[in-house]
């Protein structure tokens, strides 16, 4: 088995809203695939498949993380595009007024796509 071309995927309830969100708002490279799917083009031309699912249930975990060099700038920019960040206040995750968890691992902020799937921006050192 050749694992070098493995890929991931997730479902949405409306691919046209997903296309508008991922390509239009987030500015990601995207192309239409077979059978109504969308293909997100990420690092090294890897693909993440977005597929339509009539009985879609949003993931309760982070499905896609976007590394950023400055979490505050990224959050501010996304907020200007209409993104709302999730607020957490429990024993393991506490976010500040901007929606950023700080001081408990890397700085990270979570938000949802139109289908309710959880995404994040995560502050990471440049590669």
Task: State how far the Cα of 111 lies from the Cα of 17, in Å rounded to an integer.
Answer: 16
Asked whether the predicted pLDDT for residue 127 surpasses 80, the reply is no
SS3 85: strand
**What are the tens digits of pLDDT across the range 99-126?**
999 998 899 999 999 999 999 999 986 5
Architecture of domain 7-52: 2-Layer Sandwich (3.30)
Give me 113's structure tokens.
């796509």
Instruction: Specify the CATH number of the domain 62-123.
Output: 3.10.180.10
Asked whether the predicted pLDDT for residue 18 surpasses 80, the reply is yes
pTM of the complete model: 0.91
Q: What is the structure's pLDDT at 73?
A: 97
| Residue recorded with tokens 């929606």 | 99
Assign 95 a pLDDT band (cuts: 50, 70, 90): very high
The full set of domain ranges for the chain reads 7-52, 62-123
The pair phi, psi for residue 25, each rounded to 5°, is: -85, -50
Give me 14's structure tokens.
């409306």
> Percent of the chain scored above 90 by pLDDT?
82
Region 62-80: mean pLDDT is 96
Residues 6+ apart with CB under 8 A from 43: none
* DSSP E strand boundaries for the chain: 8-12, 29-32, 38-41, 47-52, 62-68, 100-101, 108-112, 118-123
**Cβ atoms < 10 Å from Cβ of 75:** 21
Assign 7 a pLDDT band (cuts: 50, 70, 90): confident
Assign 1 a pLDDT band (cuts: 50, 70, 90): confident
């Amino acid at each position: 088995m050749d694992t070098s071309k493995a890929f991931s995927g997730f479902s949405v309830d409306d691919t046209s809203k997903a296309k508008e969100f991922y390509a239009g708002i987030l500015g990601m490279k995207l192309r239409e695939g077979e059978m109504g799917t969308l293909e997100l083009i990420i690092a090294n031309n890897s693909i993440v498949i977005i597929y339509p699912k009539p009985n879609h249930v949003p993931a309760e975990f982070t499905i896609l993380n976007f590394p950023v060099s400055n979490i505050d700038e990224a959050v501010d920019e996304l907020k200007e595009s209409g993104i709302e960040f999730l607020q957490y206040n429990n024993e393991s995750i506490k976010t500040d007024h901007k929606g950023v968890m700080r001081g408990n691992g890397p700085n990270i902020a979570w938000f949802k796509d139109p289908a309710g799937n959880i995404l994040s921006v995560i502050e990471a050192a440049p590669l």
